[in-house]
Structures are given as C-alpha cells and as structure tokens.
Amino acid sequence: MRTTWQGFMYRIDPNRTQQTALAVQFGHARYVYNWGLAERRAAYETTGKGLTYNQQAKRLTALKREQPWLREAHSQVLQQKLMDLNDAYQQFFDRVKKGTKPAGYPRFKRRKGDQKIRYPQGLEIVENRIKLPKVGWVKIRLHRPFEGEMKSCTVTKTKSGAYFVSILCEVEVPEVAITGPTVGIDLGLITLATFSNDEPPAPNHRFLRQSEHKLKQLQRKLARQKQNSRQWLRTKRRIAALQEHIANQRQDQQHRLSFYLTRHYGRLVFENLHIKGMLKNHRLAKSISDTAWSQFVEFCEYKGEWYGCAVERVDRFFPSTQKCHVCGVKNKDLDLSDRQWQCPNCKTVLDRDKNAAINMLLAGGG
C-alpha cells in the first residue's frame, strides 16, 4: 500500500447569510494576497531582495492590529493566501532556473474573477452539511462519498455564482503492477483520439462549436446593455454559466475516456504536441483549443498512476503522420487535407490518423 492525495469536489448551497460570510472571507483573503504581493515588489525595488513567507506571516500579525476588520476572516484562511503567494513565486523562479518558459509572474487578484479560500483544518461533515469556520453548517451535495482522511478543503465561487468545495484527502492505494497491452493514440480534430488497434475512434464532439451561436447572442446582448447595470450583470452571469457548461461537457467526456483507457491498457503512447505553436494557425486555433488535448493527456497520466497504466510521449519531431508504418518511407509531400494517402514505395493505402497511431505504437516499443 502507498499513500497519495486525492481531491473530491462537491457543490454547496449556502444561504444568504452564509454567502455574505463567505464574501467576507473571499474579500479579506484577496486583500491579504494583494497586500503581500505589493510588499514583496516594494521590498525588491528597495533592497534588491524579496521577502519570505515567514517574514510576511509576522507582518500579517501587525497588519491585523492596524486593520482590525481583517479579524472578521478566519486567521488560517489569510495565512493560506500568503502560502499561495509564496508558491506562485516559487513556481516562477523554479522554471527560470530550469531554463523552461516560466510561469507568469504573480499578479494581483481581481474581485471579478473566481474567488477561492482554503481551510487547512476545523472541518466537519455530518449527513448533508459541512461545517466551514466562521461560516457555519452549509448544505453540501454529497453525490459520492469521499475516501481517506480529510486534510483540507478549498471553497470556490465561480463567475456564474456557483459555490463548490474541493476536499483534499490522504488515501491509501494498493501498489499496482503495470500490465496489459500497449496502444498508440493519435490526437486529432476530426476525431479526438484514433487508436493503433481495432478500438473505434473517440469522437470529437466540438462542444464549443455546439454552443457558439448561443454564446455569440449573449455576448452581443451584453455589448448593447449599460455596463454594471442589473441586466448587464445578469447577462454576464449567463455567459459565465454557459462557458462553465461547455468546460464541464468537455471534462466529462475526457474523464470517461481516460478512465476506460487506463483500466483496459497497460501503456498509452501519445505524441508530445507543441500545442502553443499550433495555436498560431488562426484557422485552426479555436478548434484546437476546443479539443483540450493537454487536459486529456494529464487525465490519463494521473489515472494511470492509480490503475497501473504507464503514459509515454513520443518526441514532437517524430514524423508519425508522414512515415509509412509498413516500410518506413517518409512522405514529405503530405498535406494537411490528405486524410488518406498511398505510400510511394510500397503502394500501401494509409489512413492518416490510423497510420500515425501505429507509428507512435512502434516508436514506443509496442
């Protein structure tokens, strides 16, 4: 057995009094984050050195004496925000040291974005209610039981006004041996995934395209309304709700597919796509973004650790599409519109996506 971390997300339904209490927690936590970021920037400009978390935690105590209203928020919620700020800086500098493209430099939090706070302890769940410190017993939709020992929970308010709680648990899982067949997977736009074996291709439902007409209508309606009016705010929430619906549709399909693949195969071989470079093609950028290839591969990776399935990535410069899997000849004249092509050497008629999936299987040692 080994210990790992697993999160369980649930919808919560706070009443008006609890929503007001959560708004206080969100606002005070955002204030502390922005205060900490401003302090770090000022210290660097003055001394050429940054501040550590411990230094800022001591200053936070003095700040709460100067600003007594900060005591309305839970003390650990404010400390967790300083930890988040410290982690943001750490991720930025780690990537700079590695020479990879760094994560964005920490920015100030906005009131109009998603609001998040984290409680590291003091949590209880009884039947269909969860106890949040300084908020009270909030109704929770426990659509499935959580496992393991509850360590912390993150409360989120989305742009559409929905509230969620993500419970982080420490669970024990058995050591799983990697067994089962290997399959090469070609990610595409016509089909989300094409497999090297007889598995039928996974369809690309194009969820954004399905809702694009309604989304455009709402955005045009928003543009005609007076900014910050009651109807303008209502339309903006409807746009946010529709965008969340599209994202939920996409995640649902990819969760189901990644669960199936990691349970039935021992090794999945993907191509390491340069998606950011592909998005520079403005004719395909929207369609590429709608597929969320990176998200799908990440789902397969963490589920693979649970169920005993290894996920490998073939080098992005490997010519999986242009290379004939039968004789190995590379066809440099292949165009993006050529869905089927004939090998100039062995005369084999090849399906573009199927051939790429087979080549990735061969490149992965399958």
Token digits for 173?
């899982």
Instruction: Provide the 8-state DSSP code for 68.
Output: G
Task: Choose, from 149, 186, 290, 333, the residue flagged as catalytic.
Answer: 186
Quote the CA–CA distance of 352 and 366 in Å, as a whole number. 19
Q: Indicate if 351 belongs to the active site.
A: no
Token digits for 238?
């409807």
Quote the CA–CA distance of 185 and 189 in Å, as a whole number. 13
| 245-264: b (≥16 Cβ within 10 Å) or e | ebeeebeebbeebbeebbee
CB 119 within 8 A of CB 74: yes
Task: Choose, from 39, 84, 271, 290, the residue flagged as catalytic.
Answer: 271
Q: Indicate if 271 belongs to the active site.
A: yes
Which of 25, 224, 234, 217 is CA-nearest to residue 118? 25
Q: Indicate if 94 belongs to the active site.
A: no
SS3 state of residue 80: helix
Cα distances from 279 to residues 220, 246, 357, in angstroms, run 25, 20, 22
Residues in contact with 167: Cβ distance below 8 Å, sequence separation at least 6, in sequence order: 7, 8, 9, 10, 123, 146, 150, 152, 153
Give the pairing of strands 267-271 and 310-314. Answer: parallel
CB 353 within 8 A of CB 186: yes
Q: Which amino acid is at 346?
A: C
Which of 320, 310, 321, 329 is CA-nearest to residue 360? 320
Residues in contact with 200: Cβ distance below 8 Å, sequence separation at least 6, in sequence order: none
Task: Choose, from 39, 84, 290, 353, the residue flagged as catalytic.
Answer: 353
Active site members: 186, 271, 353
